[in-house]
Amino acid sequence: MDFSIKAFDTKNTIAAAKSGCIAVAVFDNKKLSQAAKALDQDGQISAAVKSGDITGKPGSTLLLRGVGAAARVLLVGMGSDESISEKSFASAVGGMLKAFSQLGAADAIIALPMEDVKERDAAWAIRTIVCAAHESVFRTDGQKSKKDPAPAGVRKITLATQSTAETKTALLQAQAIANGMDLTKELGNLSANVCTPTYLANTAKKLARDYKFEVEILERKQLEALKMGSFLSVTNGSEEPPKFIVLKHMGGKSKDAPVVLVGKGITFDTGGISIKAGPGMDEMKYDMCGAASVLGTFRAIGEMGLKLNVIGVIASCENMPSGRATKPGDIVTSMNGLTIEILNTDAEGRLILCDALTYAERFNPAAVIDIATLTGACIVALGNHNSGLFARSDDAGEQLAAELMAAGKQSSDTAWRLPIEEAYNEQLKSNFADLANIGTPGGASVTAACFLENFTRKYPWAHLDIAGTAWKSGGAKGATGRPVPLLSTFLINRT
């Protein structure tokens, strides 16, 4: 997709614009948007609306020809003109893009009321359009022997809005975030026999070459020297070598403390000896979506040239059963010296993350955020709409949580905060080790976060549980690219 911005005015009118298609909004009370009125010189648009050929319901569309200088005009329902909601605007964009995909035109002008969405600005509308456009053409046939038919329709889009520094920046950021989401989705959707820990490491190396990042890949012997006994315990049953990936984007001042993003990279999770049920196990290739979102965010900030120091840390391996696999009841020693009784080998994400979080201490970070498909309990609590957000209730934790919540709302990639309290640590007590890797029944997503909190007390920290938001199941099965928008917006706001 190719995007640009162009302002139309009384001298450079939209009615005189030559394009394969111009999309304009109509409302459910039969009113026309300003752009629609400017095109309605011969009354065709008014007649179509009055006749009921289009209702104005959000997402409804009607294609007209012979209106203005454009080959086509697409009327797009926008709901109420009194207050355009985010949902109505997003539905309108979805309907418009579906119509675009069926046109014989290669280019189009989008002249929707981007400045009129309630409590939003043109920058938000630009981001919504660009990310939705990328999603509309995203392909999942990379591993098919016969590819799906190449999509036709619009490929060059002009956004009709004021060309200012703010809107130009918004467009650049939107394209970078959308490209980062595409990478995250591509990695998530790959089969686990292709997207191995080595594949993730090679992806990080390619990003480093493309965007001048620093990269370091730690192998098993180095992890053993670092005494990452918890991480390594998860790798015991697999033939695939573990990889510990460190990416550095040092775009800020040399003395500025970095933000560290820590991603869970379990490229396939059988559950280990505590093996999962067969139905749906294929979706455990998505257990590396935390790692994929870190890589996608790095692509976004690399494209933006973000003036901030950001470090990505990814612990990646498989969780497999074998004669060498870790057993329930085994006790391992983590990098920071705490011993862990492994009561369930399917609670493996926290075992790799705890050593990664300890490793993050060496960067003297301004903040650390870990991103993980950690618990099914988070899906029970929040469904598939919000990621789970956890942070301590001290001043630093409150500030970090507030920033992430605000970035989620700003980017429409929302999170909901859940508690971390000392009382939950009681559920993690073990008779034989410092901690158990699972808690007693109840509040499983909270006790998982509390387990991680034990390894984060030397810096401000937040945890994002994306088990419910990283991918979709059923007929729409596929990675979503979340929370790349949230993370990218959070980092943008820190510059």
Q: What is the pLDDT of residue 493?
A: 98
State both tokens at 450: 């509390």
Q: What angle do CA 69, 72, 74 make, to 5 degrees?
A: 125
List the strands of the sheet with 415-417, edge to edge. Answer: 214-218, 243-250, 309-319, 259-269, 367-372, 461-465, 387-391, 415-417
Lowest-pLDDT choice from 88-97, 139-148, 350-359, 362-371: 139-148
In percent, the amount of the chain with pLDDT more than 70 equals 100
Q: What is the pLDDT of residue 102?
A: 93
The answer to whether the CB of 88 falls within 8 A of the CB of 94 is no
The single residue of 243, 285, 299, 350 carrying the catalytic annotation is 350
Q: What is the mean pLDDT of the chain?
A: 96
Can you point out the beta strands (E) in 148-229?
Answer: 156-160, 214-218
- Of the candidates 266, 119, 293, the one whose C-alpha atom is nearest the C-alpha of residue 196 is 266
Say which amino acid occupies 341. E
User: What is the dihedral angle through the alpha carbons of 336, 340, 342, 345, rounded to the nearest 10 degrees?
Assistant: -10
3-state class (DSSP) for residue 228: coil
Phi, psi of 456 (to 5 degrees): -130, 20
Q: What is the pLDDT of residue 189?
A: 98
Domains of the chain: 2-160 (3.40.220.10), 178-493 (3.40.630.10)
CA distance 329 to 399: 38
Q: What is the pLDDT of residue 200?
A: 98
Question: DSSP string of 121-167?
Answer: -HHHHHHHHHHHHHHHH----TT-SSPPPPP-S--EEEEES---HHH
CA distances from 33 to 25, 70, 80, 161, 333 (A): 5, 17, 11, 14, 64
Interval 113-156: pLDDT, tens:
999 999 999 999 999 999 999 999 999 999 999 988 877 899 99
Residue 400 has pLDDT above 80, yes or no: yes
State both tokens at 196: 């191995």
Q: Which residues contact 473 (CB under 8 A, 6 or more apart)?
A: 280, 283
Does residue 6 carry a catalytic annotation?
Answer: no
- The strand pairing partners of 244, in sequence order, are 218, 315
Q: What is the pLDDT of residue 150?
A: 78
State both tokens at 372: 């993980």
- Per-residue pLDDT band for 223 (boundaries 50, 70, 90) equals very high
CA distances from 60 to 22, 39, 76, 90 (A): 15, 19, 6, 12
Q: What is the pLDDT of residue 46?
A: 96
The single residue of 139, 276, 417, 458 carrying the catalytic annotation is 276
Q: What is the pLDDT of residue 92?
A: 97
The answer to whether the CB of 134 falls within 8 A of the CB of 178 is yes
The tokens 């355009």 sit on which residue?
A: 84
The answer to whether the CB of 301 falls within 8 A of the CB of 308 is yes
CA distance 458 to 375: 25
CA distance 464 to 289: 12
CA distance 374 to 467: 6
Q: What is the pLDDT of residue 1?
A: 86
Say which amino acid occupies 299. R
Residue 82 has pLDDT above 90, yes or no: no
Interval 438-488: pLDDT, tens:
999 999 999 999 999 999 999 999 999 999 999 999 999 999 999 999 999
Q: What is the pLDDT of residue 147?
A: 87
CA distance 187 to 267: 10
In percent, the amount of the chain with pLDDT more than 90 equals 97
Question: DSSP string of 370-439?
Answer: EEE---HHHHHHHTTTSEEEEE-SSHHHHHHHHHHHHHHHHHT--EEE----HHHHGGG--SSSSEESSP
Does residue 350 carry a catalytic annotation?
Answer: yes
